Structure formats: C-alpha cells, structure tokens
Structure 1
C-alpha cells in the first residue's frame, strides 16, 4: 500500500507532463520502493528521500492551491535535496537554503485546505519512523484527492 500511495501522491502533485518530467525522475518516483528494499546501512538515507518526496509533493500542492511562490521555491530546494547522494548532502542542501524555509510562512494566507497541507508538511518533517511517515502519506493522499484548484481559475478569470 505505501509504495502505491507514495507514487499516487507524486502523480497528483505533479500532474502535467512538464512537472512530471522535471520532478518525477525514476529515482524520485521509486524512492519508497528503494526504501523498502534498502540494506540496513542505507535505510536512513532512503527514508530521507521518501520524506523529501512527500514534503515536495505537499508544497507543490500548496503552491498550486494558492499560487504561492515561496512554496514553489521550497519545493525546488527539496528537489535538489532529493538528488543528493547522502544524508549529509541532503542536510547541506537544506541548510544552504534555510532562509527559504523561514520565508515559507511569511505573509502566507491559506484557507483550510492550505492549513491542512502545511500541517502535513510539518508532520512529514517530524516523522522519524515508517509508521508515522505512512500515516502522513495516507492522510496526504486523501487530502490531495479532495483539493479544489478551481479557485485559482476563478481568480484568473477576474483579471
């Protein structure tokens, strides 16, 4: 279930061909499978890749939901971190762009859906076990399927 849920969340967050080509590389799409099959010394790194994939998906959904540029910028940092070769490289990538994470909540107006996405994002970053990550993943998948992106279309029509 978890591998399928992870891949389904990625597809929901990155539905266009352009997004899929950029964000859904084979290693990113199969991060959960790699985590499940990882030898003991590699588990921490593989878990971090799953966490990054879920977090990136949530921020992409938030960016699309509210046309929020800061969310897009943080999603880009998470994409860079997904390409890292070790946990230390992931940490270095995140640390290098820490100011973007701080800006994420500045002047942020979100509706209830946006608040739920941010809550799941925070829980993703806090999840330190597979059961916790799987719970966040299940909730994220359920929420992603219920989001209404048509609000942005209405606002665009008014311009």
Structure 2
C-alpha cells in the first residue's frame, strides 16, 4: 500500500486534485503513520501514543473520504454535519482530543442513516465507512483504501440525483437503524 493510494482516495472523493483535509498533506499523514509504526517497535510510552495518534489521523482521513463521497451522491444536508465533525477531529493534537470531539457530537453520525434510500453505491460507501471505524490496523486501512478507490472509480458522479425518486422509497424502520 502506498501514501499515493490514500492521496488518490481523497482526491477522488473530493473531486479535487488537492483536497484540504490535512494541512501537511495526505502523503505526510500516511508516511507519519509508517514512521510511527517503525519507532513503536523499539520503544514504549510516547512512541506508542504517537502511533495511536497517527493511526487515528489516517483512519479519520479514510472516513472523511467515504463520507464526502457519500455526500456527493446523496446531497444529504444533515450528513454534512458528520463531515464537519470528522474534519474538526482531524485537527486535534492527540487521541484524547479526537475522542472528545467525536463523543461530543456522536449523535450526528446517526444522520448518515436517517435518509438512506435504496442506492447500492451509497450503501457500499457507508459500509466502507463503517469498516473504517472498526479498523484496528494499518493493513485493514490499506485494504479499505484500495476497496474505496475501486468503488469510487465505478461511481457515475455525473448521474443526476433525483430527489423525487428518493421520496418514493419507503424510509427504513427506525428500530432497524438503531440496531446497526
């Protein structure tokens, strides 16, 4: 896996050659994690904390890419708040700050599922987002980056989004959504 794949995932999700997700750039975030992994093998304490922080930043970047792609397809106003939370969290200086930001606004993540309509690509993107939140290793994130690149290259971004079609669909059962 490479830092370039991560960069491409963000570029594709944002439809921009230079999405402003990380001040230092996506490549740096990825290579910082690789360096932290090497350093953590030989030490404890601060190196382990840096490893956790670098991992969380990469995971947030992957999650941001999937949420942005979802929003490009769904244009769901409430779900834009999720992207805002993730973008705020990526600015945090340590893992405790990340957790605090996300926990404070955890209810916004429910909005991703409130207006989900039958659309296989949106569902696949949300599934990748969920897997990103569950990922616990760099290898799992690498696999999700590749899966995301493959999926996002298959998406017809120019297909018109017809809100009337979505309105004809029955909303998902609230109890079902709570059990996700």
Kept after mapping to 2: 8 A contact 1:28/1:82 = no
Kept after mapping to 1: 8 A contact 2:4/2:27 = no
Write the mapping of 1:1-159 to structure 2, written as runs, cut at 5 A: 1-16=1-16, 20=19, 22-28=20-26, 30-38=28-36, 39-40=39-40, 41=47, 42-152=50-160, 155=162
Q: CA deviation at 1:110?
A: 4.3
> Which residue in the other structure is 2:43 paired with?
none
Q: CA deviation at 1:23?
A: 2.8
> In the aligned structure 2, how far is the partner of 1:75 from the partner of 1:29?
20
The answer for unaligned runs of 5 or more in structure 2 is 41-46, 164-180
After superposition, what is the alpha-carbon deviation per residue over 1:79-105, rounded to whole angstroms, capped at 9, x for unaligned?
100000111000000011111012221
SS at match of 1:104: helix
Which deviates more from structure 2 when the two are superposed, residues 32-41 or residues 43-52? 32-41
In terms of fraction of residues, the more helix-rich structure is 1
The answer for unaligned runs of 5 or more in structure 1 is none
- The number of residues matched between the two structures is 153
SS at match of 1:105: helix
Larger Rg: 2
CA RMSD, aligned part only?
1.9
Q: CA deviation at 1:3?
A: 1.0
Q: 1:70–1:2: structure 2 CA closer, same or farther, 3 Å change rule?
A: farther
> Which residue in the other structure is 2:169 paired with?
none
